Structure 1
Amino acid sequence: MSTTVSATQKPVLNRLRRAQGQLNAIISAIENGGKCRDVVIQLAAVSSALDKAGFQIISTAMQKCIADENDESDPMTVEELEKLFMTLA
């Protein structure tokens, strides 16, 4: 099955793939007795990458919500967007 990635999804996917690579490196480092300092630094990098991806996803949703304000489909409410945003804070 082929899927099309939008221009707004591409940077998020790139960030998540980078985080996935960092997470794989962390697992490998732990399995191979890597230094604690290196593992913690990589954990911080993964955490930051995931936070940024989440903020980017929510930001895109907010922009779409504002742009589709008059759309009769099921847009997210401001309260729902705020709640999603605050889960990352």
Structure 2
Amino acid sequence: MSAHDHEHTHTHQSHEAIIKRLKRADGHLRSIITMIEEGRECVDVAQQLHAVEKAVCQAKRTLIQDHIDHCLEDAVSVVIGGERAPLESFKQITKYL
């Protein structure tokens, strides 16, 4: 079973905060699309896109740091037992830093 299976729920304490942050960014992005459709100044649109980009980047960083903080210990203990999947998951997520 992979981490993408729906039966496997992978939740950390920070996920609720990350979801709130991404929902705000989603609303912000929709408003930017409206700005473009209404012909607003490109500088204004670029400024707003930059703000959304920073918010999404911070959400990603928080998610990855949380994963590392909470999962590394589990991964190491399981690897000692001979199972490599958690370590592979850890190695995969660091590619997105």
Q: TM-score, normalised by structure 1?
A: 0.75
Identity level (%): 33
The alignment yields a C-alpha RMSD, in angstroms, of 2.3
Larger Rg: 2
Equivalent pairs counted in the alignment come to 82
Higher relative contact order (CA 8 A, sep 6+): 1
1:37 aligns with 2:48: no
Report if aligned partners of 2:36, 2:45 keep a CA contact under 8 Å in 1.
yes
Runs of 4+ displaced beyond 4 Å: none
Tell me the distance in 1 between the aligned counterparts of 2:87 and 2:21: 24
Q: Which residue of 1 aligns with 2:24?
A: 18
In structure 2, do the counterparts of structure 1 residues 11 and 73 end up closer, same or farther at CA, with 3 Å as the change threshold? farther
The one-letter amino acid of 1:74's match is: A
Tell me the distance in 1 between the aligned counterparts of 2:52 and 2:23: 10
Structure 2: gaps of 5 or more residues? 1-8
1:75 aligns with 2:75: no
Tell me the distance in 2 between the aligned counterparts of 1:76 and 1:58: 14
